[in-house]
Amino acid sequence: MHIADSGISVVYEPELSEPVIDIAFIHGLQGHPFKTWAAVKVRSLFSRTKQNRKTAHVSSEQRPCVFWPRDLLPLQCPKARIMVLGYDTIIAKHQFAGSANKNSIFAHSRNLVNDLSRSRTPRKPILFVVHSLGGIVIKEMLSICSTSNNQAFGDILKSTAGVIFLGTPHRGSSGVAGIGEIARKAASMLLMDTNPRILDSLSLKNSDLERCQETFSSLWNKHGFQVKTFQEGLPLKLPIPGNAYTLKVVPDISSCLGDSRERAEILDADHRSMCRYASARDPNYRKVSDEVRSIYSGYIHDNHRETMSRTTCVCQEIFDHFRFSEMRLRQLAIDPPAKNTCQWLPQSVAFTQWIERKNVGVHFGLLQIIGKPGCGKSTLMKRLFETTRSSLRAEGTCVAGFFFNSRGGELEHCARGLFRSLLFQVGISHPACLDSMQAYSVTELSTMERANPRVYARMLKSILQEIFSNKSIAPQNTILFIDALDECDHNETSETGHFFAELAESAYQAGVRLNVCISRREYPPIIIRKCLEIQMRDFNTEDIRRYIHEKLDLVEFEPSKAKILADLITQRSNGIFLWVVLAVEGILKDVEDGKNTKYILKRTKRLPKALEDLYASMLKNIDPNNRQMALRLFYWAILATGRLRLREWHHILAFIREDPPSSLKDWKESDYYTENDSQLERQIKSLSQGLVEVKGGVEVPETIDDAESMFAGAGSLDSTAGDTRVVQPIHETVAEFFTKGHADKILTRKFQKTYMFDFTGEGHLSIMGSCLDYINIREFDDYVAAR
């Protein structure tokens, strides 16, 4: 069978059995479905391909080359169907060969989605291996699948097992566009044609590339497929008449995703040779094929096929009902612990009894981690959840978790969100639980959630109780982690805590192995008679000391003086890690300002011990002339109904001033225009005294309804996509400090003593005023007139 230049060509499939997984290769710029993956053959290492498997044949085979998707990979993945996808991205053609294809990347992606949907078996896992521009194509393909009503398109996304990127310009690349310009100049001398759309799509900070990456990150977060990034390690030599260019086609900053989940690795090859392997002994082939084999083996050796057969249409609908986009958002947003911290927990007696279920008849497998606000509970819980999941999941243990977030969406801080998330995770991990879940139809669940959320929550609790009181359907071993229970809606906090105490006891009595770990503040108290407890204040002192010494070592503090300062900070912190972080930041600033140790010690002794008093002290450092603007900044950071991205804060900061601009043109010509994100970030930190931060790496997948999509650009991926970094208070206690009125006397000045200042009410009025000022800019007048 001929390998077509465009469309899908199957190059290998098992002869005696049904394929378990599809592996699809997508080439890049100036690529070809055969030539991109073909290398010069090393005759001494290869023999003729055996005839006992189906392979594709092309005229290029007459030349001595190795086409590794056909010649090498089937030896490692014999039960996979392997295909190559082709599309025309030749950016320069000779005049006698015809014009270059003028389709955009997005048009190519839509064509390939249609081709793929017609050529695959529904629900069969698919792994994508993509080179260069092919990475942008697959990201747009998955985006199309996520927003399409076509069931076959949606199945492609749900069945995606992973994406392996080889030299893809994720975040734009001035290198690629520069090479394209060189190619254009050479082409013009030879009367060739070029494709400007593709070159433009690879230019630095191109909006389509940013939206494409934005949406892919969301889908990765939502669907949990595997992702691997390979980067080119060598420059590419381009023989241009009169010049010699040697550079990486896709610079390292562009070929990495910039995501905390990313596993990036460098291949000892240039942009072209990084996807061509002449031998199974090629070190680059071993790296890439090991990743392919790892994903392939997961679908061969685990119970995926059994899961798919048992997950009927009804079960899938139930999973879709329970799942919501923000389920893991808070967990992913928590920073990893500082170096050499959080290592005390496995050595604690209570934790050992809990994880090993010693004396389980006394505590029923329930552990509470209790501490003051800002002491590091969530950081510890994230570390504990992720290490437990990675170490025990392979043994068949079901590990599920939920991290409450009072500043998040509705489902992030209510019991319904908790139960939905746990049921989804447990059901995916252990399909036998589906029998309990099918006691209710999706229609019943959806109707009840809208009509009576409290009754709906009770329905979800009854499903959990049925699962963990029946040894025949419960997982063999289950560990649940619930972080920040105190951030659950106030009228549900105690009830939810007592429910899990009852669930743990009933599971124990039924012979079901269930461990539950809950973290919470000391207040509101939740009295549970039979459980284990760990008080953070009893254990995190050494973590605090390690953190202080590590930070002071950065500025080469004299060891003896560093010890005195560390002792002082530790003693005054009262076990509140956040207090320590803020205090150390102040010390490092003093060092940068040239202050001596005596001054630093004196200032540290004057720092208030209570976290709220420390916040007040920091706010007093704001220039009195800037306090009204700072107050408006806190209004937006704390009271905005949705997460505001950093790019949106360029305009927010401009329109919360005393005298907002009358047009965007005036703003851009003003002295306070923010030229880039770094400058904006510094202004936010300075104006808030560090109590508001820019948080990166996590994005909420958004749903585009009909109204929103009307305003999305043609072919756009997400009507609100942009920079994934968001601006938010550094901790929930900052928001509480303001909403409880503790900042009123510091930042407000125009009200009489008899006036009761309402932060929330005044804040919403202020936000409304800024929005009206923004709507009133002249550019909108021109827009209305044009319509």
- Element housing 11 (H / E): strand 7-13
Tell me which of 176 and 6 has the higher pLDDT: 6
Residue 741 has what pLDDT?
A: 86
Report yes or no: 167 and 231 within 8 Å, Cβ to Cβ: yes
pLDDT at 712: 32
Does 314 have pLDDT greater than 70? no
Q: Which pLDDT band, with edges at 50, 70 and 90, does 139 fall under?
A: very high
390-399, 417-426, 610-619: least confident range: 390-399
The pLDDT assigned to 1 comes to: 53
Q: What is the pLDDT of residue 211?
A: 80
Q: How much is the pLDDT for 408?
A: 87
- Tell me the per-residue pLDDT of 471-518, one tens digit each, with 9 for 90 and over: 888 998 999 999 999 999 989 999 999 999 999 999 999 999 999 999
Q: How far apart are CA 482 and CA 400, in angstroms?
A: 9
Specify which residues 267 forms β-bridges with. 232
pLDDT in tens, 344-365: 998 899 999 999 999 999 999 9
Give first-to-last CA distance, the chain, whole Å. Answer: 55
Q: For residues 737 and 611, what is the distance between their CA atoms, to the nearest angstrom?
A: 9
- Give the pairing type, strands 193-194 and 92-93: antiparallel
Q: What are phi and psi of 15, to 5 degrees?
A: -90, -35
What pLDDT score was predicted for residue 89? 66
**% residues pLDDT > 70 (the chain):** 81
Confidence of residue 452 (pLDDT cuts 50, 70, 90): very high
Q: Residue 234 — pLDDT band, cuts 50, 70, 90?
A: very high
The residue with tokens 């044949």 is 57
Contact call for residues 123 and 188 (beta carbons, < 8 A): no
pLDDT at res. 203: 41
Pairing of strands 236-240, 243-247: antiparallel
- Whether 238 has a pLDDT exceeding 80, the answer reads no
For residue 172, pLDDT over 80 is answered with: no
- Cβ atoms of 232 and 167 within 8 Å: the answer is yes
Q: Please give the pLDDT value at position 147.
A: 92
- 412: region left, alpha or beta (phi > 0 left; psi from -120 to 50 alpha): alpha
Report residue 757 as tokens.
């200042």
Least confident of 56-70, 219-233, 519-533, 550-564: 56-70
SS (H, E, C) 172-231: CCHHHHHHHHHHHHHHHHCCCEECHHHHHHCCCCCHHHHHHHHHHHHHHHHHCCEEEEEE
Percent of the chain with pLDDT over 90: 48
pLDDT at 396 over 90: no
What pLDDT is attached to residue 183?
A: 36
Top-ranked range on mean pLDDT: pick from 90-99, 210-219, 405-414: 405-414
In angstroms, rounded to a whole number, what is the distance separating the alpha carbons of residues 408 and 540?
A: 28
Q: Which of 174, 179, 176 is nearest to 243 (CA)?
A: 179
CA 733 – CA 521 distance, rounded (Å)? 11
> What amino acid is encoded at 135 in this protein?
G
Q: Provide the mean pLDDT of the chain.
A: 82
Reported as a single tens digit per residue, the pLDDT across 514-536 is 999 999 998 888 888 899 999 99
Tell me the average pLDDT across 328-350. 90
pLDDT of residue 199: 52
Q: What is the structure's pLDDT at 708?
A: 30
Cα–Cα nearest to 38, from 266, 225, 275, 336? 275
Instruction: Name the pLDDT band for 588 (thresholds 50, 70, 90).
Output: very high
Most confident region among 81-90, 258-267, 455-464, 524-533 by mean pLDDT: 455-464
Query: What tokens appear for 318 in the block?
Result: 């139930």
| pLDDT tens figures, 676-689 | 999 999 999 999 99
196-200, 287-291, 318-322, 652-656 — which is least confidently predicted?
A: 196-200
CA dist., res. 207 & res. 675, Å (int) = 17
Band of residue 205 on the pLDDT scale cut at 50, 70, 90? very low
Report which residue type is found at 478: T
Q: Which residues contact residue 488 at a Cβ distance below 8 angstroms, ignoring those fewer than 6 apart?
A: 404, 413, 414, 415, 418, 496
In angstroms, what CA-CA distances link 252 with 31, 288, 587? 21, 18, 35
Residue 19 pLDDT > 80, yes or no? Answer: yes
Stretch 639-649: mean pLDDT: 88
The region, left, alpha or beta by phi > 0 then psi within -120 to 50, assigned to residue 105 is alpha
Q: How far apart are CA 720 and CA 704, in angstroms?
A: 9
Find, among 132, 100, 97, 177, the residue nearest to 25 by Cα.
Answer: 132
pLDDT digits (tens, 9 = 90+) for 754-773: 456 789 999 999 999 999 99
φ/ψ of 397, rounded to 5, equals: -75, 135
398: three-class secondary structure by DSSP: strand
Q: What is d(CA 68, CA 275) in angstroms, rounded to the nearest whole number?
A: 9
Tokens 């007093």 label which residue?
620
Work out the average pLDDT over 56-79: 77
Greater confidence (383 vs 396) lies with 383
User: Where is pLDDT greater, at 564 or 63?
Assistant: 564
Averaged pLDDT for residues 389-399: 82
pLDDT of 257 over the 90 cut: no
Residue 106 has pLDDT above 80, yes or no: no
Residue environment code for 653-670, b if the CB has 16+ CB neighbours within 10 A, otherwise e? bbbbbeebbeebeebeee
Residues 6+ apart with CB under 8 A from 533: 350, 367, 368, 369, 370
As a whole number, mean pLDDT of residues 574-588 equals 91
